[in-house]
Amino acid sequence: MTDTNWRPDLTQYPGPKYLALSRALRDAVRDGVLTAGAQLPTVRDLAWKLEITPGTVSRAYQLATQEGLLAATVGRGTFVAATTPQLGPTQPLFVESALIAQGVVDLRSPSLPHLGQAGAIRAAFHALADRIEDDYVDYPTQVAETDLRQAVVQWVADRRMGPVEEEDVALTHGGQAAINLIMNCCLRGDRPVVLAEDLAYPGFRHAARLSRAETVGVELDQHGLRPDALEAACRRHKAQILCVTTEAQNPTAARMPEHRRSEIALIARAYDLQVIEDDCYSVSESAYPMIRAHVPERTWYVGSWSKSVSAALRFGYVICPRGMGTAGRMTAQHVSFAMPRPISELALELLQNGTAHTLRQRSQAEFAERLDLMVRALDGQDIAWQPGLPFVWLRLPAGWRASTFARMAQAAGILVRSADEYALVHGHAPNAVRLAVAGAVPRERFEQAMHQIRDLLLSPPAELIV
């Protein structure tokens, strides 16, 4: 069923046009004007009909997709997915295997290179098999995770975050689960406020939405979160949590200087903010003290294996504030009791026999080589990057819009993330895209994709389309 002729009247909705269009979409779905399965007009066609920019339509579609009203399917279009908004993210995070088989290169999220992880995990499971006893029918317990938490302390020893002990660690099902755990542990009230960088990892706002919290953006510059903007936001809003990335700002690739980390720590203490310090993307050694080193009594450090060992294991951890480890583990217990024993014991085996460290080193080396290839292919373009980080922030040249570039790259078999995907609902999205290192793609195909990106940048369309 299609309804590509849908044309709402935006004059009855006050405020910015993209919000007006998103409200019109909700009303049309609620009133039955657009039914489940109906196909919407293309971004370009609806923009022409309504005499607004394609970027405005694209942003409204994106907002409705995040709410679960719409679903976008590669190569088919945008469809009504539900009759009521849903909480949390609804877009698929990864490309379907059929598209990968067709040669589609996914640069939306870094993928680990295949460097022996399967064999290492297989060997570790074999080593564990003979240790399985009758108690495998019982619930897992956090008491049994003590050795693994101690191994995690050693795993993060290259980070300068002050004293860390086993009792400070809570284990989670990956980095996103860690963020959800912290918000469950810290947020109070009917409509709490969470502060985040105005361009930030979308998982922050998804976790906040699940906790019924409002997310407020704080301005960035080339060095990351601005302390003056943070203090202004603290004065306007009685926020409870600040989400920040210091080592590897996602998506801009900025590394925050040491003096700024100290300033932000002082502001967090002055305004009683809990700090989520996300370090899931940073794989190189830390040059500066983390924010946790400045305010260990209120900083929750988040890490995972998804960008270093294996994303399939869903292994993550939280270094809780000093004295808050028990609260963090109790929250985890209320959610899932403890980590599944096959995963916790596998992780401990990989840490104790050194395999996890070896895999991290190999992944870093391969990421570094592919990052060098990306940087050389984009020579002359306005890019931001840093060694050891598996993505590049590309500010588009004149003649391009981010949404147009993403669509034309997709037509060439390459998927990228537009800046729109990182902007908060009321935030501003720069004319930029993020390109991730696709470690799982054969190197020859990856290099070919980067040359395609380079050629595309040098040939902007005569007419901007979306």
- Pairing between β-strand 193-197 and β-strand 241-244 as defined by DSSP bridges: parallel
Q: Exposure pattern of 30-57 as b/e (b: 16+ CB <10 Å)?
A: eeeebeeebbbbbbbbbbeebebbbbbb
Q: Exposure pattern of 380-391 as b/e (b: 16+ CB <10 Å)?
A: ebebbbbebbbb
pLDDT for residue 90: 39
Give dist(CA 171, CA 156) in Å, integer: 13
Q: How confident is the model at residue 195 (pLDDT cuts 50, 70, 90)?
A: very high
pLDDT for residue 86: 47
Residue with tokens 């409870």: 240
Q: Which tokens sit at 241?
A: 């949590």
- Residues paired with residue 384 on neighbouring β-strands, in sequence order: 393
What number is the average pLDDT over the span 384-390? 92
The alpha carbon dihedral of 405, 438, 98, 207 has a sign of negative
Task: Look at domain 10-80 and name its CATH class.
Answer: mainly alpha
Q: How confident is the model at residue 12 (pLDDT cuts 50, 70, 90)?
A: confident
Residue with tokens 């009247």: 9
Domain ranges of the chain: 10-80, 97-110+357-457, 133-353
**pLDDT tens digits for 223-254?**
999 999 999 999 999 999 999 999 999 999 99
DSSP of 90-121, one letter per residue?
-S-SS--HHHHHTT-EE-SS-B---SSHHHHH
Query: Residue 67 contacts by C-beta under 8 Å, 6 or more apart in sequence?
Result: 26, 85, 86, 90
Specify which of 30-39, 434-443, 456-465 reaches the highest per-range mean pLDDT: 434-443
Q: Which tokens sit at 328?
A: 């963090």
Length of the chain in terms of residues written: 466
Q: How confident is the model at residue 461 (pLDDT cuts 50, 70, 90)?
A: confident
88 has pLDDT over 70: no
pTM of this structure: 0.80
**pLDDT tens digits for 362-372?**
999 999 999 99
Percentage of the chain modeled with pLDDT above 70: 91
383's enclosing H/E stretch is: strand 382-384
**Fold held by 133-353:** Aspartate Aminotransferase; domain 2 (3.40.640)
Of 425, 402, 430, the residue nearest 65 (C-alpha): 425
pLDDT for residue 168: 98
pLDDT for residue 30: 79
pLDDT for residue 83: 60
pLDDT for residue 100: 55
Residue with tokens 């925050």: 256
The alpha carbon dihedral of 52, 53, 56, 60 has a sign of positive
Report which of residues 185 and 403 the model is more confident about.
185
Query: Residue 275 contacts by C-beta under 8 Å, 6 or more apart in sequence?
Result: 241, 242, 244, 264, 265, 268, 291, 292, 295, 298, 299, 300
CB 319 within 8 A of CB 164: yes
Report which of residues 69 and 395 the model is more confident about.
395
What number is the average pLDDT over the span 328-349? 93
Of 74, 83, 7, 70, the residue nearest 39 (C-alpha): 70
Task: Look at domain 97-110+357-457 and name its CATH class.
Answer: alpha beta
Do 97-110+357-457 and 133-353 fold alike per CATH? Answer: no
Of 422, 396, 382, 384, the residue nearest 252 (C-alpha): 384
Q: Exposure pattern of 192-211 as b/e (b: 16+ CB <10 Å)?
A: bbbbbbbbbbbbbbbbbbeb
pLDDT for residue 243: 98
Of 275, 301, 280, 276, the residue nearest 391 (C-alpha): 280
What number is the average pLDDT over the span 353-366? 95
pLDDT for residue 4: 64
Angle of CA points 230, 198, 254, to nearest 5° = 85
Mean pLDDT of the chain: 89
Q: Cα–Cα distances in Å, from 432 out to 293, 376, 381, 429?
A: 33, 18, 11, 8
Q: How confident is the model at residue 414 (pLDDT cuts 50, 70, 90)?
A: very high
Question: Burial level of 235, CB count in 10 A (0-12/13-18/19+)?
Answer: exposed
91 has pLDDT over 80: no
Give dist(CA 319, CA 18) in Å, integer: 39
User: 80-89, 104-113, 191-200, 261-270 — which is least confidently predicted?
Assistant: 80-89
Using DSSP's 3-state secondary structure scheme, residue 422 falls into helix
Specify which of 281-290, 391-400, 405-414 reaches the highest per-range mean pLDDT: 391-400
CB 291 within 8 A of CB 371: no
Q: How confident is the model at residue 404 (pLDDT cuts 50, 70, 90)?
A: confident
What number is the average pLDDT over the span 10-37? 82
Q: How confident is the model at residue 27 (pLDDT cuts 50, 70, 90)?
A: confident
Helices (H), 109-174: 117-129, 146-155
pLDDT for residue 138: 92
Report which of residues 309 and 44 the model is more confident about.
309
291 has pLDDT over 70: yes
pLDDT for residue 61: 87
**pLDDT tens digits for 116-168?**
999 999 999 999 998 899 889 999 998 999 999 999 999 999 999 999 999 99
Of 379, 398, 396, the residue nearest 450 (C-alpha): 379
